[in-house]
Structure 1
Amino acid sequence: MKHIIAHTLRRSAWAPLLVLAFYAIAIKGFDAYVRWPDLDIPTHFAGGMAITYVYATLLRESQARLGTIPALIRSLCALGMTAITAILWEFMEFGTDYFFGMVTVLGVTDTLSDLFFGLAGGSATLAMLHLRALAPVPASVET
C-alpha cells in the first residue's frame, strides 16, 4: 500500500501544493483576501479540483491491490473524500480564528460557499477525468 500512496503522491501532489502555494503567497505576500474577498471563491474551487484529483488518482492506483473498482464508485468515493477534506479545512479555518485571533471565517454563508465551491471544483475534475477517459486514443503516426 505504501507503494500506491507514494506513486499517487508523485503523480498528483503537485495539484494541491500549487493551490496551497498560491494561497500562502496571496495571503501573506499581497494581503489579497482582504483586498479582494471574492478571491476565496476560485481558491476553494481550485482546491476542490486539486484534492479530488489526488483522491481519484489514489483510487485508480489502488485497483492494482484491491481489484477493479467501477468508475462511478471511484468518483463517488473521491467526491466524498473531497467533502470530508473541505469540512476539515473549514474546521481548520474556524480553529485559526478561535485560537489565533485570525479572521478567515466570515459567517455561515462564507462557510457554505466555501464548501459548495470546493465540491463544485471536485465535480468539475471528475467530469474532466471522465471525458478524458472517453476520448478516443489518437493513432500513432508512423514515419
Structure 2
Amino acid sequence: MKPLPSLLLRAGWAPLVVLIFHHEIQHTSWRQRLDFLMHYSGGVAIGFFLWHALDCFAHWLGSLTPFARYLFTFALACTVGLFWEFAELFSDVFFHTRIQFSVRETMRDLIADATGAATTLTLTWLVRCCRKK
C-alpha cells in the first residue's frame, strides 16, 4: 500500500474523530464545558497522527534518532494547535464568530493541545519500553 493511504488508515482516523466530535458539539450548550477536553483530545490525536506520519515521510526527512522523533512530533503537534488558534481568531475577526473569549482561554487551549501531545508521546514511549522487555 502507498504511504499516504496507509497513514490515513493507520492514524488518520484519530484527528478525524476529534474533528467530527468538535463539529457536533460546537453549537450546543456543551461547547464551553468541553472546550479543554476537545483541545486535549486534539493534541492526543494529532500527536498520534504525526508520530505515524514521520514513518511515511522518512525518505524525505531521513532517519531520526528516537529523541529527535519525539521532539519533532511534539513540536509539530504544538504548531498544529497554534495554527488552530490562528484559525479561531481569523473566524472571530472576519466572520464575527465568538470562538475565542479571552487570552486566558486561548492560552488554556494551547496548554491543552501541548498536554495532549505530551500524553501521546509518553504513552508511545511506555509502549515501546514494554515491547523491548
TM-score, normalising length from structure 2? Answer: 0.90
Q: Do structure 1's residue 12 and structure 2's residue 11 form an aligned pair? A: yes
Taking only the aligned residue pairs, the percentage that are identical comes to 27
Deviations 1:49-97 (A, max 9, x none): 0001111011134346655321110110011111111111001001111
Rg larger for: 1
Match of 2:103 among 91, 105, 108: 108
Letter in 2 for 1:19: V
Q: Which position in structure 2 is the counterpart of 1:55?
A: 50
> Residue 106 of structure 1 aligns to a residue in which SS?
coil
Q: Distance in 1 between matches of 2:91 and 2:114?
A: 22
Does the 8 Å contact 1:60/1:74 carry over to 2? no
Question: Matched residue pairs, number?
Answer: 132
Single out whichever of 68-77 and 85-94 deviates more from structure 2. 68-77
CA apart distance, 1:7: 2.0
Q: Which position in structure 2 is the counterpart of 1:32?
A: 30
Unaligned residue ranges in structure 1 (runs of 5+): 139-143
> Residue 72 of structure 1 aligns to a residue in which SS?
helix
Q: Do structure 1's residue 84 and structure 2's residue 75 form an aligned pair? A: no
Q: What is the RMSD computed on CA atoms of the aligned residues?
A: 1.8
Q: Do structure 1's residue 125 and structure 2's residue 123 form an aligned pair? A: no
TM-score, normalising length from structure 1? Answer: 0.84
Match of 1:68 among 54, 63, 67: 63
Letter in 2 for 1:5: L
Letter in 2 for 1:48: G
Q: Distance in 1 between matches of 2:44 and 2:123?
A: 10
